[in-house]
Amino acid sequence: MIIGLGADHAGYHLKNIVRSYLQQQGITVRDFGTHTDAPCDYPDFALMVANAVAQGECDLGILICGTGVGMSISANKVKGIRAAHAQDPVTARLSRQHNDANVLCMGGRIIGAELAMEIVSAFLNASFTDEERHARRVHKVQMLEKRYTEGETEREPAG
């Protein structure tokens, strides 16, 4: 498994802790930065990780900014990405099981290192259930994504 990892300055320290944790678990990590705590812009790192996941260069992604919200919003702009903002292990697990999330977003100024490891573990150890109701809903999300990336903007429900 290859995990794409990225953070802005507010998530820099937690990113380094997560990277070490993943490596201790024997997981390959592609660290897209930032590599310093100097101020920088979260969309830049969200885009790099999301593109790597969308293009199949990484199996999953983990993004960390101050709250996790900016990374989630940014990563979800990339076609094929279902980025989930999680502040607890249950949300992280269910995002994979029910929503087929492929990117985890966390807040470096919101959660501590110990909780972050629990969230990461829950995310990585879960997989999509593929139950009909969840598959149907993820398919609808994919149809919305397709509709809006191809320039159609009607307001009726997808598929």
Catalytic residue among 98, 105, 134, 139: 98
The Cβ of residue 154 has, within 10 Å, a number of other Cβ atoms equal to 8
Catalytic residue among 9, 65, 85, 105: 65
pLDDT for 15-45, tens place per residue? 999 999 999 999 999 999 999 999 999 999 9
Rg of the Cα trace of the chain? Answer: 15
User: What's the chain's average pLDDT?
Assistant: 93
98 is catalytic: yes
pLDDT for 48-86, tens place per residue? 999 999 999 999 999 999 999 999 999 999 999 999 999
pTM, entire model: 0.92
- Residues whose CB falls within 8 Å of the CB of residue 78, separated by 6 or more in sequence, listed in order: 47, 50, 51, 54
What's the helix, strand, coil split of the chain in %, to 5?
45, 15, 40
Alpha-carbon span 145 to 20, nearest angstrom: 34
pLDDT for 114-130, tens place per residue? 999 999 999 999 999 98
Token pair 């099981």 is at which residue?
Answer: 97
pLDDT for 102-116, tens place per residue? 999 999 999 999 999
pLDDT for 60-69, tens place per residue? 999 999 999 9
134 is catalytic: no
- pLDDT higher than 80, residue 155: no
- pLDDT higher than 80, residue 145: yes
Alpha-carbon span 67 to 154, nearest angstrom: 32
Provide the angle, in degrees to the nearest 10, between the axes of the packed helices 132-149 and 89-99: 80
